[in-house]
Amino acid sequence: MSISSAKSTSEKPDGAPLAGGTSTVDPSDVDRPLGTVRDAFVDYLNRLRGGDMGALPAILGLVVLFTVFSVLHDKFLTTYNMANLVVQAGSICVLAMGLVFVLLLGEIDLSAGVAGGASATITALMLVDHGWTWWGATLAGIAIGAVIGLVIGLLVAYLSIPSFVVTLAFFLALQAVPLKLIGAGGSLRFNDEILRGLSIKNVPVVAGWVAALVVVVGFAALALWRYHSRSKRGLSHRPLLLVLIQIVALAVIVLGSTALLSQNRAPNPDFFNISGIPWVAPVVIVLLLVWTFVLTRTKFGRHLYAVGGNAEAARRAGINVNAMKVAAFVICSSMAAVSGILAASYTGKVSPGSGGGNELLYAVGAAVIGGTSLFGGRGRALDAVIGGLVIATIPNGLGLLDQASYINFIVTGGVLLLAASVDAISRRRRSATGV
């Protein structure tokens, strides 16, 4: 069947068109028949002209921010500050990854920040008042987040209440949870050795190097196997040289970051040692790998992109649209719970205001700045991580420059507005070119 009103047209990785012309994978992940690196470069330029910007604006923004702050302050690129930046970005990246699932459907979750605060409160109560183990308390907090997402998803999917209205109501109501359980002006210490250690402790240097090598070797093996498999079957694939360039680029980033963070960054290195990758980084990386696999290599991920591209065409193709919406909100709120726990680990406490500040705005900004479309159908988990680094870099650098707080809000708001403008312009160009 053909749906003339489809928002986007794409192809499966094997080149077979989809029913209704809807996209079931992120278009940026689709392999095209490329013969040489030059062909790949020309193809990339054509996609840029067609409005498929991907994460390029965020990457360029990150380069500009790093350049400006490193020039203005000599301590910005120190190992100590880079480790702090990783920790500060952790909770934002995780929350933004959860929001990607909702944004892919063209929906919004305004309650994600306070859902994380409420879930972290439950985790803290289980630890402090009931003596639960760290993993039991963590599962309890994530379960609370999943239940919140389930209720929101059911209201949005089956009662057809706009997600803006439903999540706004939950944004207001969920703030009562920590206020009731903790009390106005009170707080709960988040001092579990494992959970608190996510922000204040580091992976042993040797273990960090082993993990980095496993990531690089694993990526190289998977990329080369995929190249060999697709070329052997006569399917479209990237040129071998481009695959090797990607492997080298990843190796430089991963091994370079590991080498940087493995150095002793203590203010007084002669008296004590602070070295290794902060534990929050492996948490973010594992979640990134899991959700990237889900979005790009599973039936659920293909269906999610299809619903985001055109819900009606997806429905006619046999996809349970309501179930996809419910699942997206459950994932979003569950990730919000993880984000809330990471934020509590960073501050060392849970208070009535946990999750009620700018966490949600920063996370939405991170997803959009990274390249996730507000109009649905386009986005990746990696977008959230890149955008999260951009968002975290701004207050980090401005803090070193001792700038007033209002400057941070102005700069972050301007960056988000610029990202939203790029998204709107890109969408208009894609519509004009039929991409």
pLDDT at 433: 61
pTM, 2 dp: 0.86
CA pair distance 319, 186, nearest whole angstrom? 47
CB atoms within 10 A of CB 156: 25
Q: Residue 278 gets which letter from DSSP?
A: B
Ranges of residues in the chain with a pLDDT under 50 are 1-32
CB 179 within 8 A of CB 359: no
> The tokens 């996609």 sit on which residue?
47
Q: What pLDDT digit, counting tens, does each position of 348-387 carry?
A: 999 888 887 778 888 988 888 888 888 888 889 998 999 9
pLDDT at position 59 is 87
What pLDDT score does 340 carry?
94
Residues 6+ apart with CB under 8 A from 46: none
Interval 222-256: pLDDT, tens: 999 988 888 888 777 778 888 899 999 999 999 99
Rounded to whole angstroms, how far apart are CA atoms 49 and 46?
5
C-alpha–C-alpha distance, residues 79 and 94, integer Å: 23
Mean pLDDT, rounded, of the chain: 85
| Structural domains of the chain sorted by starting position, each given as residue range(s) with its CATH number in brackets | 19-43+52-201+278-433 (1.10.3470)
Residue 227 and residue 236: Cα distance in Å, rounded?
A: 9
H helix or E strand, kind and range, residue 243: helix 240-261
State the Cα–Cα distance between residues 188 and 389, nearest whole angstrom. 28
Residue 8: predicted pLDDT:
39
